Structure 1
């Protein structure tokens, strides 16, 4: 599954365009490697490092992908597809 589509289905962003812009900023990592292309494939077991802007600060969330979601469903459904490994502020 493409990284931009995964971010939308996991409800980290509202649209694929926003996901593509976020990835293009170059602050995201997949398995420790910097990601700048939205079409980067993601599979279960991959670890993503996501900088999440919250208010005036940025929080970094590290997640492990457990399963690939079939659709953009409710938040409770999306949260079963990943596990939070670390959160840094």
Structure 2
């Protein structure tokens, strides 16, 4: 007689939500919105740097430069604006 062993994997509670609902909830979070806005700012910064250099400077250099020179001020400003909107 063979013993059949099965491992049952269960999904975490959050994973049981329908995918569309989970995405909708994530989009409502202020952290998600901040990360998306930050990414857009980095891409804009990359464009400006590339225009000045006359070549594509790459996302890594642009990200490091933006974090070093602009992130702190941008974050304070972004959070101040979004706190007024009543974000979580």
Whether TM-score is above 0.5 comes out as no
TM-score range, shorter chain: under 0.3
Greater fraction strand: 1
Greater fraction helix: 2
Considering Cα pairs closer than 8 Å and 6+ residues apart, tell me whether 1 or 2 has the greater RCO.
1
Q: Which structure is larger by alpha-carbon Rg, 1 or 2? A: 2
* Superposition TM-score, scaled by structure 2 size: 0.25
* Superposition TM-score, scaled by structure 1 size: 0.25
